[in-house]
């Protein structure tokens, strides 16, 4: 055994089989349960895609109605959780708030310790329904506003806008948000999904697995990148400054957030769809400067480094143009990716083996312990 046997970052390692989604870097494509993600984004609502991920097939009208009814019935969070959220320090990041809120939900749910498939699916539905409510409550309470309750007559996307802002925006804005939720829903063994599977493999419950996954998603190399992208665009500020800014970053061999991907090396399959909707958002809002800056950065990264943007690159400005403040971006990613995490937790539990890799020791050789007086 030598260091050449070590796959740092687990690059190129197949850790298990999975029937949920497939990334095909050679054709820049991604399918959920066999369906191209861009077709799902065009023809389905997020709720249909969640049903697909969890059940393997798209729902018919009756199945969708029953699924939506069940989701809408679970949207309320308890007054006690609302109080806990209100007590969070205001300057903390909403990702820490939602991670803590999910952890708290485990304490409230009488089914937390029941790891049967049926109970885990019921808990997944609760998480799907309650995470947006908790994210929106934290947003409003953190700004000294009163929380707005969930509305059972609204879709998942519409209800989130209503809980955050007190109104549902134009249908194009809701559609762009729904598309982002669908594109963010699932992506094979990314870091947070693998974290969720690792925790589930210990037979810990879904709340433990999702809490850990939220921690993994927070990092700027993973979900946190969508926030970093918008900070970068705001720092650049104007299209005229974009060229000089990126030249100087690349001259200093610095990382440019929103670019590159561990699996896709010649383009992220989700980017064209999200970019189209981000451009549409820019037109709806009448503010095209972020997308103009984005176009310059993307062209320069391709010309100089041959590196393509990832989904976070168009999603960041799209969320901003929808009216969300930057620290909400990764919590929105949580609300979407919960669907993927849960399907992987179901799959892991159905054919479980504890995930426990090896490490190749590279520390000092074995030696005796000397009593403290002799050291």
What residues are annotated to the active site? 222, 261, 312
302 binds ligand COA (CB under 6 A): no
CA separation for the pair 135, 238 (Å, rounded): 31
317 binds ligand COA (CB under 6 A): no
218 binds ligand COA (CB under 6 A): no
Q: Which of 260, 267, 317, 340 binds ligand COA (CB under 6 A)?
A: 260
Only segment of 71-79, 191-199, 253-261, 284-292 that touches ligand COA (CB under 6 A): 253-261
312 binds ligand COA (CB under 6 A): yes
Only segment of 100-108, 111-119, 178-186, 254-262 that touches ligand COA (CB under 6 A): 254-262
Shortest separation between residue 102's beta carbon and ligand COA, angstroms: 22
Q: Which of 100, 294, 310, 330 binds ligand COA (CB under 6 A)?
A: 310
Shortest separation between residue 215's beta carbon and ligand COA, angstroms: 16
Give the list of residues 6+ apart from residue 183 with CB closer than 8 angstroms, or none: 37, 41, 270, 273, 274, 311, 315
CA separation for the pair 249, 112 (Å, rounded): 47
336 binds ligand COA (CB under 6 A): no
Give the CA count within 13 Å in the CB-facing half-sphere of 145. 13
107 binds ligand COA (CB under 6 A): no
145 binds ligand COA (CB under 6 A): no
Q: Which of 259, 320, 333, 346 binds ligand COA (CB under 6 A)?
A: 259
Q: What is the DSSP letter of 147?
A: P
Give the list of residues 6+ apart from residue 118 with CB closer than 8 angstroms, or none: none
Q: Which of 85, 225, 230, 236 binds ligand COA (CB under 6 A)?
A: 225
Number of residues that this document lists for the chain: 375
CA separation for the pair 213, 341 (Å, rounded): 8
Contact 368, 266 (CB under 8 A): no
The 29-32 sheet, strands edge to edge: 21-24, 29-32, 35-36
255 binds ligand COA (CB under 6 A): yes
Pairing of strands 21-24, 35-36: unpaired
307 binds ligand COA (CB under 6 A): yes
3-state secondary structure of 298: helix
Shortest separation between residue 301's beta carbon and ligand COA, angstroms: 7
236 binds ligand COA (CB under 6 A): no
Backbone Cα Rg of the chain:
22
189 binds ligand COA (CB under 6 A): no
Q: What is the DSSP string of 227-263?
A: HHHHHHHHHH-SHHHHHHHHHHHHHTT---TTB--SS
261 binds ligand COA (CB under 6 A): yes
186 binds ligand COA (CB under 6 A): no
C-alpha dihedral over 149, 102, 93, 257, to 10 degrees? -110
CA separation for the pair 153, 53 (Å, rounded): 23
Only segment of 67-75, 87-95, 104-112, 249-257 that touches ligand COA (CB under 6 A): 249-257
Shortest separation between residue 234's beta carbon and ligand COA, angstroms: 16
CA separation for the pair 336, 323 (Å, rounded): 18
CA separation for the pair 179, 60 (Å, rounded): 20
Choice between 141 and 297, CB closer to ligand COA: 297
Only segment of 30-38, 194-202, 259-267, 291-299 that touches ligand COA (CB under 6 A): 259-267
Q: Which x/- pattern over 4-43 shows residues binding ligand COA (rule: CB under 6 A)?
A: ----------------------------------------
Contact 78, 107 (CB under 8 A): no
CA separation for the pair 223, 208 (Å, rounded): 19
Choice between 31 and 310, CB closer to ligand COA: 310
Interface ranges with ligand COA (CB under 6 A): 221, 225, 255-262, 305, 307, 310, 312
């Amino acid at each position: 055994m030598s260091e050449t046997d070590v796959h740092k970052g687990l690059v190129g390692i197949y850790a298990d089989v999975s029937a949920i989604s497939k990334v095909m870097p050679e054709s820049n494509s991604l399918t959920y349960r066999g369906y191209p993600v861009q077709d799902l984004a065009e023809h389905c609502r997020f709720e249909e895609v969640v049903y697909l991920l969890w059940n393997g097939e798209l729902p018919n009208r009756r199945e969708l109605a029953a699924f939506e009814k069940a989701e809408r019935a679970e949207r309320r969070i308890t007054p006690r959780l609302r109080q806990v959220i209100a007590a969070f320090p205001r300057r903390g990041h909403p990702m820490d708030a939602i991670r803590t809120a999910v952890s708290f939900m485990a304490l409230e749910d009488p089914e937390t310790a029941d790891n049967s498939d049926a109970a885990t699916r019921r808990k997944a539905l609760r998480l799907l329904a309650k995470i947006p409510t908790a994210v929106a409550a934290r947003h409003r309470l953190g700004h000294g506003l009163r929380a707005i309750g969930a509305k059972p007559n609204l879709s998942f996307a519409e209800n989130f806008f209503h809980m955050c802002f007190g109104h549902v925006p134009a249908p194009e804005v809701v559609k762009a948000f729904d598309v982002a939720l669908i594109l963010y829903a699932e992506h094979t063994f990314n870091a947070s999904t693998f974290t969720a599977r690792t925790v589930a493999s210990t037979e810990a419950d879904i709340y433990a697995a999702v809490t850990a996954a939220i921690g993994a998603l927070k990092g700027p190399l993973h979900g946190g990148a969508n926030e970093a992208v918008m900070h970068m665009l705001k720092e650049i500020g104007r299209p005229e400054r974009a060229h000089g800014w990126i030249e100087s970053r690349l001259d200093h061999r610095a990382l440019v957030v929103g670019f590159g991907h561990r699996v896709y090396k010649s383009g992220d399959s989700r980017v064209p769809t999200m970019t189209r909707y981000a451009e549409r958002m820019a037109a709806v809002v009448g503010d095209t400067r972020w997308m103009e800056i984005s176009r310059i950065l993307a062209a320069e990264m391709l010309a100089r480094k041959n590196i393509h943007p990832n989904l976070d690159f168009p999603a960041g400005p799209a969320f901003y143009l929808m009216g969300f403040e930057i620290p909400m971006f990764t919590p929105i990613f949580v609300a979407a990716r919960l669907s993927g995490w849960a399907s992987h937790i179901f799959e892991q539990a159905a054919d479980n083996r504890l995930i426990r890799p090896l490490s190749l020791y590279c520390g000092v050789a074995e030696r005796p312990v000397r009593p403290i007086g002799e050291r």
